[in-house]
């Protein structure tokens, strides 16, 4: 039935809609600051324009639902329902499901998960992980030549760095020791959560520096991580979800979690890739992989291995894992044709995009030697600038 709406040229739609869809519609519209009637109208238009066969929605026990549609849309919708051989209730339910799928929740309301990975060692995963996390946490203007770049990211985020590599380079570079074998760590919470007595948040350590304002923390490496793959082999339960299960309690405390992963093809890497998957109601590209590479041929081979592992995992668990982008690291054009031609090949991929080209300069090595964060030690260096460039690309997804 339709009746005039005195507030404007709209008609009243009286129908039914499953309670869970009514709730999802209400919450999503509020998240996106959209009127529910506009959301339903947009969903019906998308439904009318959709040429694919849509799956049937279970409408058993649907509750009464009413809204207002622009004049003429309700009649056109009912005619389409008749032509497609579905009830008005089914057509409306499909329209709402379609709108929800096309309008994911604002990804800023959920913790974003960035896994920095490559199967080749020595490409600078640790440097990129640390630099990206610092740039995301950094806030406030700078007096240096790159002050504008810093000011553009003045709304520093709460960031957790996770040293997921058993070698512990990230922890060492920031002046921390790996958790000794036998003590509680991330590995304990992954493999023996029922035996853990210390909340994982209590094991994180703040990274000092005025630029980070207490927003940057690190979960140090653990010596036990060398045994993680063998532990996952005999783990009783969904092995691919162990990292997510361990880190889930921390997500409410951070806007972004950045994981420095090992150069591995094993089960531990499967868990990291799964953690980076696109979750329900999450905007594509909000979470995913940042992949450091070098401008040489062996990086391309390692990248291919990573993609094979990622695609295999995505097929096995029917999930989407986004490649946010590549970072061409330690670039030096003086190395000649191999370096310059490889860089052009990386750029020519197009998807995923090259987020930044980080030059091979002394500031990063000096910061590591002094065990200082790069953006604290050399905030106006070209390497720091490129880390901010990566962060800006991640923020704008």
Spatial CB neighbours of 76, under 8 Å, sequence gap ≥ 6: 48
Q: Give me the pLDDT at residue 42, please.
A: 95
Q: Give me the pLDDT at residue 152, please.
A: 36
Contact 10, 69 (CB under 8 A): yes
Contact 190, 170 (CB under 8 A): no
Closest by CA position to 200, among listed 248, 134, 238: 248
Indicate yes or no: pTM above 0.85: no
Q: Give me the pLDDT at residue 141, please.
A: 45
Query: Which stretches of 105-251 are assigned E, i.e. beta strand?
Result: 112-116, 159-163, 205-206, 216-219
Residue 215, both tokens: 């927003």
373: left (phi over 0), alpha (psi -120 to 50) or beta: beta
Segments of the chain with pLDDT less than 50: 1-7, 107-108, 141-154
Domain ranges of the chain: 10-102, 107-395
Per CATH, is 107-395 categorized as 3.40.50.300? yes
Spatial CB neighbours of 172, under 8 Å, sequence gap ≥ 6: 178, 371
Q: Give me the pLDDT at residue 73, please.
A: 94
pLDDT in tens, 108-153: 457 999 999 988 777 889 999 999 999 999 975 443 333 433 333 3
Q: Give me the pLDDT at residue 397, please.
A: 66
Q: Give me the pLDDT at residue 162, please.
A: 97
Q: Give me the pLDDT at residue 181, please.
A: 84
What stretch of H or E contains 309?
helix 297-317
pLDDT in tens, 352-391: 999 999 988 888 889 989 999 999 989 999 999 999 999 9
Residue 38, both tokens: 């506009």
């Amino acid at each position: 039935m339709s009746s005039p709406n005195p507030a404007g040229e709209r008609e009243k739609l009286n129908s039914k809609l499953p309670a869970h869809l009514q709730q999802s519609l209400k919450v999503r519209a509020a998240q996106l600051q959209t009127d529910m009637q506009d959301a339903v109208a947009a969903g019906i238009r998308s439904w009318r324009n959709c040429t694919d066969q849509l799956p049937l929605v279970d409408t058993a026990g649907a509750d009464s639902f009413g809204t207002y549609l622009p004049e003429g849309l309700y009649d056109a919708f009912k005619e389409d329902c008749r032509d497609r051989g579905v009830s008005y209730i089914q057509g409306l339910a499909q329209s709402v499901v379609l709108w929800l799928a096309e309008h994911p929740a604002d990804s800023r309301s959920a913790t974003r998960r960035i896994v920095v990975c490559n199967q080749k060692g020595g490409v600078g995963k640790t440097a990129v992980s640390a630099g990206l996390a610092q740039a995301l946490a950094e806030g406030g203007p700078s007096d240096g030549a790159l002050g504008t770049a810093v000011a553009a990211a003045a709304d520093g985020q709460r960031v957790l760095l996770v040293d997921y590599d058993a070698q512990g380079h990230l922890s060492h570079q920031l002046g921390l020791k790996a958790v000794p074998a036998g003590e509680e760590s991330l590995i304990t919470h992954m493999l023996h959560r029922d035996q853990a007595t210390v909340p994982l948040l209590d094991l994180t350590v703040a990274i000092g520096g005025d630029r980070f304002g207490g927003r940057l923390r690190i979960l140090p490496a653990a010596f036990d991580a060398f045994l993680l793959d063998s532990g996952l082999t005999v783990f009783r339960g969904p092995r691919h979800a162990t990292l997510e299960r361990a880190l889930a309690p921390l997500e409410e405390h951070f806007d972004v979690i950045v994981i420095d992963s090992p150069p591995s093809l094993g089960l531990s890497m499967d868990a990291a890739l799964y953690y980076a998957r696109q979750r329900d109601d999450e905007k594509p590209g909000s979470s995913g992989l940042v992949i450091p590479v070098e401008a040489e041929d062996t990086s391309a081979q390692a990248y291919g291995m990573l993609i094979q592992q990622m695609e295999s995992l995505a097929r096995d668990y029917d999930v989407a894992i986004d490649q946010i982008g590549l970072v061409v690291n330690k670039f030096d054009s003086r190395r000649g044709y191999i370096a310059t031609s490889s860089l052009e090949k990386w750029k020519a991929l197009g998807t995923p995009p090259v987020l930044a080209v980080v030059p091979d300069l002394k500031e990063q090595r000096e910061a590591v030697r002094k065990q200082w964060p790069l953006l604290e030690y050399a905030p106006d260096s070209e390497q720091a600038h490129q880390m901010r460039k990566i962060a800006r690309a991640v923020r704008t997804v």
